[in-house]
Amino acid sequence: MERVQHETSNGSSDPSEIVQPAWGFYETIGWGMIAFIAWSIAEPILLSIFNAWEEATRHGAAGLRGAPNDAISVSISTIAAGAAWIGVTAIAVRWRGWRFNDYVGLVLPSRRELILSLAAFAVLLLATDLASYALGRPVIPQFMIDVYVSAGTPAALMIVFISVVIVAPLWEEIAFRGFLFRGTSLTRFGVPGAILLTSSVWALMHGQYDGFVIVQIFLSGMFLGWLRSTTGSALLTIILHAIGNFAALVQTALKVQGSSTPTPM
C-alpha cells in the first residue's frame, strides 16, 4: 500500500487517500492484451449486427461491410476498440482500488498549459505537412481519402466524424497516455521508457498507413507522451488528439470536394 497524491480538477493534489500501487509492468501489458482480445471479439460481433440491420432495412440490397478502408467498417472497428479498451481499463483500475480519472490522468490542465500545448501542437502539425510536401508525398494519406469517399452519405460521414474525432482520441489516449503510461512509467523503464514504448506501440497499431505516416504518428505520440509526463493530464492529450484528427478530416474533405472527380486516386 502507498500514499498517492490524487490530481484534482483544479491542478492541486489530495494526499489523504491510501490506495494500492499502480499495476506493474507485466500486469499492465497483460491488461492491455486482454483489452486487445476484447476488441478483436467485439469488432466482428458489431460488424455482423450492423450488416444484419443494413440488409434488413434495405431488403437485402446492401452489400456486406468489411473492407479495411470502408467508412462504416472503420467506424465500427473504432467504436468496438473504444468500448473494449475503456471497459477493460475501468475493470483493471477498479480492481486496483483507484479512481478511474486519477489512474489514467483525466485531470484538467491549466489555462497556460492548454494554450502553450495548442501552439506547440499546431507547429508540429504544420511541420509534418511541410515535410510531406517537401518530400513529394501526399499530405493526406490515401487511406483517409478512401474512407471519406466510401462514406457516401451525410449520415455515414457523421458516423465517421464521431468515430475519428471523438471516439478514437478518447480511447487511444486513455489506453496509451493513460493506463499504459501509468503502469510503465513507474517501473525501471521510467518516464522516458514509457513515452518511447507507448508511442511505438501506438504508431504500429496504425498499420493502415505506410511507414512514413507511421513515423509521423510515432513523433506525435512522443510529443503527447511528453505532455502527459509534464502536465499530468491525459485529458490534455485527448483534446490535442481530437483537434489533430479533426484537422485531418477537414483536409480530407477539402481535397475530395475540391477534386473534379471525387474518387480514390
**Mean of pLDDT values over 52-60:** 65
Burial of 64 (0-12, 13-18, 19+ CB in 10 A): middle
Taking the CA of residue 27 as centre, how many other CA atoms within 13 Å lie in the half-sphere pointing to its CB?
A: 14
Distance separating alpha carbons of residues 95 and 180, to the nearest angstrom:
16
Closest CA to 120 of 223, 11, 236: 223
List pLDDT tens digits, range 128-161: 999 999 999 999 999 999 999 988 889 889 999 9
| pLDDT in the model for residue 246 | 97
pLDDT at 247 over 60: yes
**Mean of pLDDT values over 13-26:** 70
| pLDDT in the model for residue 16 | 42
Instruction: Work out the end-to-end distance of the chain between its first and last CA atoms, rounded to an integer number of angstroms.
Output: 58
pLDDT category of residue 51 using cuts at 50, 70 and 90? confident
List pLDDT tens digits, range 177-214: 999 999 999 998 899 999 999 999 999 999 889 999 99
Domain boundaries of the chain, sorted by first residue:
22-258
pLDDT > 90 in the chain, percent: 71
| pLDDT in the model for residue 263 | 43
Calculate the average pLDDT of the chain.
87
| pLDDT in the model for residue 18 | 47
List pLDDT tens digits, range 82-130: 999 999 999 999 999 999 999 999 999 999 999 999 999 999 999 999 9
Return the C-alpha torsion angle 90, 96, 97, 99, nearest 10. Answer: -40
Determine phi and psi for 97, rounding to 5 degrees.
85, 15
